[in-house]
Amino acid sequence: MVAEQLARRGIRDRGVLDAMGRVPREEFVAPSDRWRAYADQALPIGEGQTISQPYMVAVMTAALVLTGGGRVLEIGTGSGYQAAVLAELAGEVITIERHAVLAETARARLAELGYTNVTVLVGDGSVGYPARAPYDGILVAAAAPRVPEAIKLQLSEGGRLVIPVGPPGEQDLVVVRRGPDGQFIESAGDPCVFVPLVGQEGWPG
């Protein structure tokens, strides 16, 4: 997966490649899907949610430009796979999931795999988690109609937010960086398709 789907397609961040090589993706999919755990495709995980394709996980993680340590917020825990990848690169990961059953499963799975630097919460991730802000990186694994202002404001100086933005079925991956003057620098990247971000600052449920 790392060599054929990630490095060959242009992922150059060695830290991201190594992290994804260490995380056992088969532990984060349904037993019936283990045979295709390393295929470059999204897979269903229940509650109408999916685990993202490995390439998109790599692209979004690399866009955060994590340098080791630091605090990262993930919105949309899902199966916990993305949180595990982030935990390999950050000092602390806070991840929020709106579906309690997915959050509980992810929490147990991450604990079994020895990830002690991940906190799984249940709540409306569309407003972020200001109680632990600021964050050096924020990764949103669901598509928003626009970049939520509340989430942007939780970035630390120099921090980056990666979020799919656009209507259902067609989004662009947007990267927002908070400059030293407090201003936000926004750029659009790869086209992508994610499940909707449901909540106060996202789509209605």
| Beta pairing class for 135-140 and 71-75 | parallel
The Cα 91–Cα 87 span in angstroms is 7
DSSP secondary structure string, 82-144? HHHHHHTT-SEEEEEES-HHHHHHHHHHHHHTT-TTEEEEES-GGG--GGG--EEEEEE-SBB
Catalytically active residues, by annotation: 52
Helices and strands in the chain: count of H runs, count of E runs: 5, 9
Task: Evaluate whether 124 touches 203 at the Cβ level (below 8 Å).
Answer: no
Cβ neighbours of residue 27 under 8 Å, at least 6 residues apart? Answer: 109, 113
> Which residue is it, tokens 């398709």?
193
Backbone angles phi, psi at 174, to 5 degrees: -105, 135
> Which residue is it, tokens 């209507």?
167
